[in-house]
Amino acid sequence: MAKAAGVSVMTASRALDEKGVASLETRARVQAAATKLGYRPNKLARLMRSAHSNIVCIVVNDLSSQLENAFVKAISTEVRHAAMEPFICNAGGTLDLANKSLPPHEILQGLCDGFLYVLPRITDEYRLFLEQSDTPSVLINSGAQASTLPTIRCDKSIAIGQAIRYLADLGHSRIAYIRDARDTGQSDAGEQGYLQGMQSAGLPIKPEWIANGDSGFDSGWRIAEEVLSLPSPPSAIIAATHRMAWACLMASRNAGLQSPRDISIIGVDELPSDFQEERKLSTLRQPIAAMAKAAVKELSLRSSPSLPQIRQALFPSELLIRGSTGPAPQREPR
């Protein structure tokens, strides 16, 4: 291309670089030659020569998760608003330094200016590795373990406690809780919120009212069938994910119960749905857009040590009251 434009390779490089020094005439001649020859600049090579890539790596554990996808979409929008480009990495499970494969952070830290870990499933060793890395990281909805990394959280413990207070005000005392998969970021926090909420409301806690789900529809249905068939079944169920709550609603209908007359159901982390019925569920919704904005802002602050930095930003859930919750029944559910 330089030969076609009648200039040296160095002059051609300067002419193609937006910040390069070259006369307007030379720049026009080189651009014309590049267009004629179909030349496309190697952006990766340019990035490797620059101190900053303006690329943010968004690390998720499971791209099939609707919640993680909702976060990825919101974060990608905020990253582009900040004049950067998102790069999505699917970790495909718990991040552990003991694995033989290199972790995403170690592979991509030379190409990315920072990392945003969404609902991270990480071991303590991996968290320490991130804390000691020169490339900044921000955790979004991680577990409650202490960390020097900035963390953006919608505390599931607070959310579940909020749901219990609402149900108690409606007269419910038999409240069951279905927790999500134990390797998710805030599974333990959700159960802690349930136990504390029940104790604060002076309500009985029965082991058979607490069940371990896997966050999906099938486990929600199975557990709902189990708890509703107990000798002393609950009058309300709180499910740690929206899909499990939807399954509870369907399973209760299959058992001949009507919601909210016979059973009240609340889900957590409402997700976009095309089904009108799903949108009738009472739910605790995370402010995903606000959390995404805060995470990207914090990552930008991390690259400028002179600016103030937050260590943790806590966002409240919004309790949306819909048709799946109502006053406690005067009789035991069938």
Find out whether 270 and 289 touch, Cβ atoms under 8 Å.
Answer: no
- Ranges 62-76, 174-188, 247-261, 299-313, most confident: 247-261
**Strand order from edge to edge, sheet including 236-239:** 210-212, 175-179, 236-239, 264-268, 282-285, 318-320
Class of domain 157-286: alpha beta
Q: Quickly tell me which residue has 């009472």 as its tokens.
A: 282
**Strand order from edge to edge, sheet including 137-140:** 85-90, 55-60, 114-118, 137-140, 151-154, 312-315
Average pLDDT over the chain reads: 81
- Give pLDDT, residue 58: 94
Q: Which two tokens mark 192? A: 């802690």
Say which residues have a Cβ less than 8 Å from residue 261's Cβ, sequence separation at least 6: 326, 329
- Ranges 3-7, 99-103, 259-263, 305-309, most confident: 259-263
Rounded mean pLDDT, 177-205: 85
**For the segment 109-150, what is each residue's pLDDT rounded down to a tens digit?**
778 889 999 988 888 888 888 888 888 899 998 865 667 888
Q: Is the pTM of this model over 0.85?
A: no
Rounded mean pLDDT, 254-280: 79
- Give pLDDT, residue 206: 93
- Give pLDDT, residue 26: 63
**Topology agreement, domain 55-154+287-316 and domain 157-286:** yes
- Give pLDDT, residue 252: 94
- Ranges 131-145, 160-174, 212-226, most confident: 160-174
- Confidence band of 264 (pLDDT split at 50, 70, 90): very high
| Spatial distance between the Cα atoms of 72 and 98, rounded to a whole number of angstroms | 27
**For the segment 31-65, what is each residue's pLDDT rounded down to a tens digit?**
766 666 566 555 544 554 455 678 999 999 877 77
Say which residues have a Cβ less than 8 Å from residue 49's Cβ, sequence separation at least 6: none
- Give pLDDT, residue 68: 86
- Confidence band of 334 (pLDDT split at 50, 70, 90): very low
Cα 106 versus chain centre, distance? 22
CA angle 154, 61, 153 (to 5 degrees): 10
Domain edges within the chain: 2-41, 55-154+287-316, 157-286
- CATH superfamily ID and name for 55-154+287-316: Response regulator (3.40.50.2300)
Task: Say whether pLDDT at 293 is over 80.
Answer: yes
Q: Is 55 helix (H, G, I), strand (E, B) or coil?
A: strand
Burial degree of 310 (CB within 10 A; 0-12, 13-18, 19+): middle
Rounded mean pLDDT, 233-244: 92
- Give pLDDT, residue 162: 92
Task: Say whether pLDDT at 165 is over 80.
Answer: yes
